[in-house]
Amino acid sequence: MKLRRLLICIFSFYSVFAFSQNENAAETDLTPKYVNEFLTIGVGARALGMSLSQVASVKDVTSGYWNPAGLLGIKSTLQASAMHSEYFAGIAKYDYAAVGKAIDSVSAASFSFIRFGVDDIPNTTELIDAGGNIDYDRITTFSAADYAFIFSYARKGLPFYQGFNKKEIRDQNSVRGFRWGASAKILYRQIGDFANAWGFGLDAGLQYDLDKWHFGASARDITGTFSAWSYSLSERTKEVFEQTNNDIPENGLEIALPRVILGAAREFQIKKISVLAEINTNITTDGKRNTIVSTNAVSIDPSMGIEVGYNNIIFFRSGIGNIQRYTDFDGSKYLTIQPNIGIGLRIKSLYLDYALSDIGNVSDVLYSNIFSLKYDLFK
């Protein structure tokens, strides 16, 4: 009966996602690939060390990003987390901070903030003055940055508990293994003084525990995440665009299509040694991607991660993900795999985590050092 209820929940969860996808699919001109991809990078060095395999086992404040249902794992009065990472040899910087707390014995909430940006970009559109002379003093700098503000809520039990036959579920205790959550996110994207966009979207998540097994599902952008772009280009900038055969952008709407992440995890305990292994399946709906399974409707990208802990003090992590299919110049096809490793240390209520992540397994300069902190505050 437990397995049956789990399958019913997953089916219902996926049905909502599929309906949203079909509703938005008609807007093909508004749904380019890789919209809001900064929200897929991941938060927390623990997660990045495990190649983003988190949906089923996450149970701390980072759940506001990974799967809001996991917020119910917060046992402290207040839990805070922060992360800083740099990509492409320090050109791009990614910052994350979050706070979360248990509201009561059956609910929890959190707030998360994300910034991903490239700063000090030279603006050379005004390099040449009206007389045709090059004037380097006319070069200015600007930033291109993406911001996300995420408000999350989680609760024990089933959101549609009344829909079950009461003879099968006699009381709420029989569904305590279920946790559900939802997130509302506000996005702000800025490219200097040239353009900015405001966006809004919804995420949802489910988790279920069965003995040592953990199952999870996270649907992102379940109704489509809408971003309204506004451009303010000077006449001189428009001239430069025309002279260099670039299109002049116009105000418009951009939609990120839904995606679903399914996960399963298993715990093992051998005296003071703990082992957690998890596998996730990332299902996107914005067209073909260079993934293991790629169709016009969906693309599927799996990832796997493992965490080995000793006495709940020190942790070693590893994982593989971002498995991409490429075609070489000679027509031959091959796969690339992104390996990740990490380590964690717990000192009472303080957690220190580090991960070494390789973007795409292409070059040494793409290795990124990621650090994150987590702290539990008790009354």
Q: What is the pLDDT of residues 33-79, one digit of tens each?
A: 778 889 999 999 999 999 999 999 999 999 999 999 999 999 889 99
Q: Is the dihedral of CA 234, 239, 244, 249 positive or negative?
A: positive
Total of domains in the chain: 1
Tokens of 337: 């795999």
pLDDT confidence tier of residue 32, bands split at 50, 70 and 90: low
Q: What is the pLDDT of residue 20?
A: 39
* Euclidean distance between CA atoms 262 and 270, whole angstroms: 27
100 DSSP β-pair partners: 79, 110
Q: Where are the beta strands (DSSP E) in 58-212?
A: 78-87, 92-104, 107-123, 140-156, 178-191, 195-210
- Percent of residues, the chain, with pLDDT higher than 90: 48
Higher pLDDT, 214 or 290: 214
Mean pLDDT of 16-45: 63
Tokens of 375: 């702290």
- Percent of residues, the chain, with pLDDT higher than 70: 84
pLDDT confidence tier of residue 159, bands split at 50, 70 and 90: low
Q: Hey, what amino acid is at 136? A: Y
Q: What is the pLDDT of residue 55?
A: 96
What is the domain-level CATH number for residue 349? 2.40.160.40
Give the range of the structural domain holding residue 106, as residue numbers without chain letter.
Answer: 2-377
Q: Is the dihedral of CA 264, 70, 269, 372 positive or negative?
A: positive
Higher pLDDT, 98 or 21: 98
* Euclidean distance between CA atoms 169 and 181, whole angstroms: 21
Tokens of 96: 């994350």
Higher pLDDT, 51 or 165: 51
pLDDT confidence tier of residue 161, bands split at 50, 70 and 90: low
The DSSP code for 42 is -
* Euclidean distance between CA atoms 290 and 294, whole angstroms: 7
Q: Which of 158, 204, 155, 157 is nearest to 183 (CA)?
A: 204
Mean pLDDT of 250-260: 89
Mean pLDDT of 252-279: 93
* Euclidean distance between CA atoms 371 and 272, whole angstroms: 26
Q: What is the pLDDT of residue 17?
A: 38
